[in-house]
Amino acid sequence: MRVVVALGGNALLKRGQTLSAAAQRENVQAAARALAPVASKHQLVISHGNGPQVGLLALQSAAYGGADAYPLDVLGAETEGMIGYMIEQELGNLVPFEVPFATILTMVEVDPGDPAFKNPTKPIGPLYSEEVARRLAVQKGWTVRPDTGGWRRVVPSPVPRRIFEIRPVRWLLERGTIVICAGGGGIPTMYEPGTRRLTGAEVVIDKDRASALLAAELEADVLVLATDADAVYLDWGRPSARAIAQMTTAELEGHAFAEGSMGPKVEAAREFVLRTGKRSAIGALEDIARLVEGEAGTQIVPAR
């Protein structure tokens, strides 16, 4: 099978964890152990989140007084290279030496007229106390909002329209390569109105929506969204909470999920199934192999 696995940002750097290279590498090692069995059986494409990492790079860039801070598209490209390098190395330590890897810097087009530009919702960077978050908002012109355990910066998150490097990804897959691409939702780009001049966009594309588009364009057999929860739950946070083992796209329409956490994953998984008629799965990082086989997490299937 051709499998696309999207590693959540919190699967690579857990909530509240120190934003260090050592902590990230430890989590990538855990991800590699979960991915290796899949790589031994299937064509594998890996995407990943970058919220904590791009937020850290933005802070480091802003702290340097000698030049303007780097824009989010450039920082996104940096995180694609950094995280892709770690995944290549750690997964490469677990699979046969002759298996080739490639990390693709992936530009993704967004619409400059997308309403998301006027409504920032995508959290990036570390958690702050409310006092610190509000002070940074004034100092740096940020938009900040409450998040689980604190406050975070939020930026626009427009809908991905096109993945520019989809053909090279296909070529690499046809030659047995494990491909890492569309990291952090891809490098956000847009055409200047009325022109064919491509430029960067000061946004972060949702990784799950970009992964759904990637999987559909690659005609993947299954899309796996790996996160820090073992499944999608109904009535999350209540005594009546219960995990969903399987649900059709039609059945999902009757339920609402948290916008800042599980909601985007469910919607992306649903979009992929509706577009392709294939299957998607949401669940824990350590269950990736079982998610691929349909034996764990929440399996989202076409309407009967």
Q: Which of 10, 49, 51, 186 is catalytic?
A: 10
- Residue 158 burial (C-beta neighbours within 10 Å; 0-12, 13-18, 19+): buried
Confidence band, pLDDT 50/70/90 cuts, at residue 19? confident
122 counts as catalytic: yes
CB of 4 closer than 8 Å to CB of 215: yes
CATH of domain 2-108+160-301: 3.40.1160.10
What's the whole-number mean pLDDT along residues 67-88? Answer: 91
pLDDT at res. 252: 87
**Rounded CA separation 245/250 (Å):** 15
The yes-or-no verdict on residue 48 having pLDDT over 80 is: yes
Catalytic residue among 8, 9, 183, 297: 9
Selected catalytic residue, list 265, 278, 283, 297:
265
265 catalytic? Reply is: yes
Banded model confidence at residue 13, pLDDT cuts 50, 70, 90: confident
Q: Note the pLDDT of residue 92.
A: 97
Q: 10 Å Cβ neighbour count for 26?
A: 15
Distance CA 79, CA 125 (A): 13
Please write the tens of the pLDDT for every residue from 136-160.
Answer: 899 888 899 998 789 988 999 999 9
Range list of H helices, the chain: 9-12, 21-39, 51-63, 72-92, 130-140, 166-174, 207-217, 249-252, 262-276, 288-292
Q: b or e along 99-132 (b: 16 or more beta carbons within 10 Å of the residue's beta carbon)?
A: eebbbbbbbbbbeeebebbeebbbbbbbbbeeee
pLDDT at 10: 63
Break the chain into its structural domains and give their ranges.
2-108+160-301, 120-155
207 is catalytic: yes
Is 93 an active-site residue? no
Collapsing DSSP to helix, strand or coil, 141 comes out as: coil
Cα distances (Å, whole numbers) of residue 258 to 122, 138, 148, 211, 255: 13, 28, 12, 19, 10
> Which among 50, 55, 186, 207 is annotated as catalytic?
207
Contact 242, 248 (CB under 8 A): no
Give backbone dihedrals phi and psi of 243, rounded to 5 degrees, phi first. Answer: -75, 145
Q: What is the structure's pLDDT at 40? A: 95
Give the pLDDT of residue 260.
64
**Does residue 186 surpass a pLDDT of 80?**
yes
Q: Say what the pLDDT of residue 198 is.
A: 96
Q: How confident is the model at residue 261 (pLDDT cuts 50, 70, 90)?
A: confident
The answer to whether 14 is a known catalytic residue is no
